[in-house]
Chains A and B, each alone.
Chain A
Amino acid sequence: MRRTLTRTSAALTISTLACFLPIQPASAQTYIIGSTGFPSTIRVAIRQNNIFGEPDPRGPIIYVSNVNFDQYCRDVLPNEWYPTWPLASLEAGAIAVKMFGWYHHLHPVTVGGFTFDVDNTVNFQLYRAQSDQDQTNQAYQNTRNLAYVMPDKVIFELNYRAGYENNPNWQYRNAQKMSQWGSQYWAALGRTPLQILEFYYVNRMLVTIPGIGKG
């Protein structure tokens, strides 16, 4: 009787825990620039809006949209970076947005029966269809053929956070995440996109993506 109870409670615990694990990564495989093709599309999960009409990061997924990868990056950048910032900041941002999207394209997840690469909220990157702007499009175009990868050319997730204004945001460098306000700070001081990336992501390198033009 006691053994049955123990087994039942163990089974219940496991099943309960399983319910709280929403994301099941498909694989932990690594992908290398050159042997991995540039994505043509990306699967974007569209989440239900909250009552104010904004996509809710904890809302249920309504459907998954197949979006052109270049267009996805162009429609993310002005929502993540501020379009009036200096071009160097936008170019660093364009590389980060692209590498983040590319990494997740290679590591899709399944939630609630939907398999997708990213969603349209800050769970991944804020995506709004048809929101691209000329300045951010220019930054994306200038850097489309560039990738920022590990020294062994492995594609990794370039993560970033807002950070604080008028500040280099050193704490983000220590965490290997780019600060968006920090990128603006350095760009205003005349740093190049590569210098900005090198400041936040230590021991990485900028490479040209084979067979990919500037767009």
Chain B
Amino acid sequence: MIMNYFPVRKFKILLVSSLCVTSLLTSTSGLLVQGALAAETKPIVTPPKQGEQSTIPPSGYVPVLPSTDYGQLRVKVLDGRTLKPLPDAEIVVLETEKRYRTDKFGLTPWIKAPVLRSTRFRFLVNELHGQLTLISYKNGYRDSIHMGVRMNEGSPTKTTIWQYKIDPTVDTRVEPVLYQVPYHRLWLIKLADRFRRPSQLGEGYEHP
């Protein structure tokens, strides 16, 4: 929000509110932040009806979800070395701050999860899928961060997270493990073709 503070002035003084900066910082994350500027006073939250569970997470922060589109997500957590399912691991969907636990088969229930598309490529090539970030926690294992989980509107998505057991005799420096889900190869081909000049053959236009 840009505010004009002094009605009679020699110089025009512009003040940028800190909330505005915050929302700008949010937008650089690459996610669509439609409505972030409007949400500077307080987040728009519909109070839960009687008997309904509150939608406000324990942190008090209500993420601005830019889309009303959702898909279904199911996460499987495996021991990264034995490849056996890990029960009782806790999965956090960062974008919604909601938490889920895995059952004895290492599976979460089907989760209603938002489809968030990257603004960076939004106007260049119509991106094929949204992305989510997950963190898996389990005592005795390294935390596992899983970025870029592909989500599509109305479609089910399954993803697998590997967690690695901490061995105190070997693991002296214990830090989280990151896995970045890659973009689909069909999308990458499209993206590269979108900006290729006729003189920039590179590998060449795809010839059969």
Which secondary structure dominates where chain B touches chain A?
mixed
Determine whether A130 belongs to the interface, using a CB cutoff of 8 Å to chain B: yes
- Kindly state whether residue B76 has any CB partner on chain A within 8 Å: yes
Partner of B186 from A130, A131, A134, A162 at Cβ < 8 Å = A162
Q: How far is the CB of A76 from chain B (nearest CB, A)?
A: 12
Classify the secondary structure of A's interface with B.
loop
Which stretch from B6-14, B41-49, B177-185 is at the chain A interface?
A: B177-185
Total residue contacts A-B, CB cutoff 8 A: 51
Determine if A122 and B182 form an interchain contact, defined as CB atoms under 8 angstroms apart.
no
What string of 1s and 0s marks CB contacts (under 8 Å) between A142-165 and chain B?
Answer: 000000000000000000011111
Report B-chain residues with C-beta under 8 Å of the C-beta of A91. Answer: none
Indicate if the CB atoms of A134 and B158 lie closer than 8 Å. Answer: yes
* Contact segment of B58-66, B88-96, B136-144, B149-157: B149-157
Task: Please determine whether A134 and B208 come into contact, CB atoms closer than 8 angstroms.
Answer: no
B175 CB to nearest A CB, Å: 16
Kindly state whether residue B78 has any CB partner on chain A within 8 Å.
yes
> A181 contacts the other chain (Cβ, under 8 Å)?
yes
A135, B156: Cβ atoms closer than 8 Å: yes
* Bound-state Cα–Cα, A92 to B102, Å: 35
Contact: A161 with B184, CB < 8 Å?
Answer: no
Task: Provide the residues of chain B in CB contact with A179, threshold 8 Å.
Answer: 208
Please tell me which one of the listed residues A53, A130, A165, A177 contacts residue B208 in the complex, with CB atoms under 8 A apart: A177
**Within 8 Å CB of A177, what residues of B?**
208
Q: Is the CB of B157 within 8 A of A133?
A: yes
Q: Is the CB of A133 within 8 A of B158?
A: yes
Alpha-carbon distance A124/B128, docked complex (angstroms):
24
Which B156-208 residues sit within 8 Å CB-CB of chain A? Answer: 156-158, 160, 179-180, 182, 184-186, 189-190, 193, 206-208
10 further A-B contacts with Cβ under 8 Å, apart from A84-B155, A131-B160, are: A82-B128, A130-B160, A133-B158, A134-B156, A161-B206, A162-B185, A163-B208, A164-B193, A165-B190, A171-B208
